[in-house]
Amino acid sequence: MKTIVAPVMTEKSVLGMDNGLYVFSVTNNATKSSVKDALKKLYQVDAISVRIVNLPAKKVNFKRVAGVRTARRKAYIQLAAKQVIPGFELPKNKDDKDKKEKGK
């Protein structure tokens, strides 16, 4: 059974990746231990802690039509020190540093 659905890539979650904190969308029946096992199987990393958050359904309006955003579930995963999940690193641009130095 698939436990981890997809990574959650928001500004807040990307900032946490530098500290080893990753956010994933998980299925409704996922437990902390099943998320740990899925991470070990998919990415070969060790999770120190797993926190699961249930986000409620929200009433929203699409133009003038009322609707409901579905309830969802996220897992916040803290990895062991010096471990990263491959493919989730942010590129470090040297161009940004050069532009700042030229501006001074």
Q: So what's the pLDDT on residue 45?
A: 92
Listed by start position, the domains of the chain span 4-82
pTM greater than the 0.85 cutoff: no
Is the C-alpha dihedral spanning 56, 69, 11, 28 positive or negative?
Answer: positive
d(CA 18, CA 15) in angstroms, rounded, equals: 6
What is the CATH code for 4-82?
A: 3.30.70.330
- With a cut of 70, say whether residue 98 has pLDDT above it: no
Dihedral, CA of residue 24, residue 25, residue 27 and residue 31, to nearest 10: 40
Q: Enumerate residues 6+ apart whose C-beta is below 8 A from 90.
A: 14, 17
Asked if residue 42 has pLDDT above 80, the reply is yes
pLDDT tens per residue across span 64-93: 999 999 999 999 999 988 899 888 877 666
User: How far, CA to CA in Å, does 40 sit from each of 22, 43, 57?
Assistant: 14, 6, 30
Q: Flag whether pLDDT at 38 surpasses 80.
A: yes
pLDDT at 96 over 60: no
Per-residue model confidence as pLDDT tens digits over 9-34: 999 999 999 889 999 999 999 999 99
* Rounded distance between C-alpha atoms, residue 8 and residue 22, angstroms: 8
Closest Cα partner for 36 from 73, 1, 78?
78
Q: What's the confidence (pLDDT) of residue 86?
A: 85
